[in-house]
Structure 1
């Protein structure tokens, strides 16, 4: 019987323990669990790219702060995703209780 090792990078998924965007000292959102880490990191990268573009635009358009707030929320989401991925990668590997053959 062939079993997959859940600690293989392609099998790892988010654990959904990381909150972000707080209201009244309570997290309004959190990272969703069971998203493949590669997909989660790709999304964080997209969020950071958009935040970078918005902050660049904000540097040239000083009439409004809407770009800054959008960038703020995108970076908060990105940080939460990366933090959740780090939690998965840093947790000790589950021990296999099955006898080896």
Structure 2
């Protein structure tokens, strides 16, 4: 009987811990994170000979991101790289985050 109770307590503890790990980041945190990627891709776009499509596809993600978030980050990277390649001005963080929050 004690083994069964201990087993259920163990399962409950593991499940509770796993649920805590699944918590999503807020939309605003995601947008600030995406801006960091956007900036880095802009910097890499300034380097001659960089393929922006290859650069954005090469980003590796953990399991914490949804498919739509991954696509958004890849799109932001391509955009940043393109702007850097063509010597256009980079958006500031407030502009980027506000447009990200609207999507």
Q: TM-score scaled by structure 2?
A: 0.32
Q: Comparing both chains, which one has the higher relative contact order based on Cα–Cα distances under 8 Å and sequence gaps of 6 or more? A: 2
Q: TM-score scaled by structure 1?
A: 0.32
Greater strand share, structure number: 1
Greater helix share, structure number: 2
